[in-house]
């Protein structure tokens, strides 16, 4: 099997256990930062250390704990901001279901996964997904916030359950027993994934 050109780095980036990510093409060193959170300097340090040219700043959704560092990253790198316009007004690149982003010799695919927020997206490349606050290790995002929609979140999670079991999950917060997992692990261990129907999911998510 061909080795992936895209590499991902996980960065613990706030007192709220946020994760930022840096994805880059190992051959061309073109990069994309995801959710700078409150510690954008940590991303900038990795970008500098590795000699990466940052093409894109991606946001999984519009909550402040994920996007607080956007301005610092944009100012220091000249990257283009890519996000779903329902969550982030006037991004440089509008993301939607099926958007494909070129990064060096790799491709990042966008899934629109509303529920936690209406503009939540997941970034997918090879067998890896960056899930923001839609899916955490052993949990899922809240559905009781302004703009949340528990039915949409259930539907989004059903789509993720159909991904190959070896798909690696990179969540938006460090809330689980491990920093990453796989779809196969979540199918066995995540109570929200295991809900057999919308009714049981709604009860667990909103009342559990
Ligand atoms: Fe959030």
Q: How far is the CA of 34 from the centre of ligand 1 (A)?
A: 14
CA distance 33 to 54: 7
Q: How far is the CA of 25 from the centre of ligand 1 (A)?
A: 27
pLDDT over 50 at 198, yes or no = yes
Q: How far is the CA of 67 from the centre of ligand 1 (A)?
A: 10
Q: How far is the CA of 116 from the centre of ligand 1 (A)?
A: 7
Cβ neighbour number for residue 45 with a 10 Å cutoff: 12
Q: How far is the CA of 133 from the centre of ligand 1 (A)?
A: 5
pLDDT over 80 at 3, yes or no = no
Can you tell me whether residue 145 is helix, strand or coil? coil
Mean pLDDT of 57-79: 97
**What is the H or E stretch that residue 102 is in?**
strand 100-103
Q: Write 154-159 long-range contacts (CB < 8 A, 24+).
A: 154/115, 154/195, 154/198, 154/201, 154/202, 154/205, 155/115, 156/113, 156/114, 156/115, 156/120, 157/115, 157/192, 157/193, 157/201, 159/111, 159/113
Mean pLDDT of 153-165: 98
Mean pLDDT of 132-153: 97
Q: Quick check: 39 and 45 in contact, CB under 8 A?
A: no
Q: How far is the CA of 28 from the centre of ligand 1 (A)?
A: 32
Can you tell me whether residue 101 is helix, strand or coil? strand
Q: Is 28 exposed, middle or buried (0-12, 13-18, 19+ CB in 10 A)?
A: middle
Find tokens 């930062």 and name the residue.
Answer: 33
pLDDT over 60 at 135, yes or no = yes
């Amino acid at each position: 099997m061909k080795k992936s050109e895209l590499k991902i780095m996980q960065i613990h980036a706030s007192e709220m256990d946020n994760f930022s990510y840096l994805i880059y093409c190992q051959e061309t060193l073109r990069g994309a930062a995801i959710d700078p959170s409150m510690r954008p300097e940590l991303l900038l340090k990795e970008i500098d250390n590795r000699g990466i040219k940052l093409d894109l700043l991606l946001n999984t959704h519009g909550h402040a704990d994920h996007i607080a560092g956007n301005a610092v990253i944009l100012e220091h790198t000249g990257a283009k901001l890519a996000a779903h316009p329902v969550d982030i007004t006037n991004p440089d690149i509008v993301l939607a279901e099926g958007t494909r982003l070129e990064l060096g010799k790799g491709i990042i695919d966008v899934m629109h996964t509303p529920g936690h927020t209406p503009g939540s997206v997941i970034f997918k490349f090879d067998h890896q997904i960056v899930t923001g606050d839609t899916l955490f290790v052993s949990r899922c995002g809240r559905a009781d916030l302004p703009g949340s929609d528990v039915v949409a979140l259930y539907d989004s999670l059903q789509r993720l359950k159909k991904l190959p079991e070896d798909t690696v999950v990179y969540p938006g917060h460090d809330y689980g027993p491990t920093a990453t997992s796989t779809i196969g692990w979540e199918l066995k261990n995540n109570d929200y994934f295991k809900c057999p129907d919308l009714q049981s999911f709604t009860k667990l998510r909103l009342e559990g």
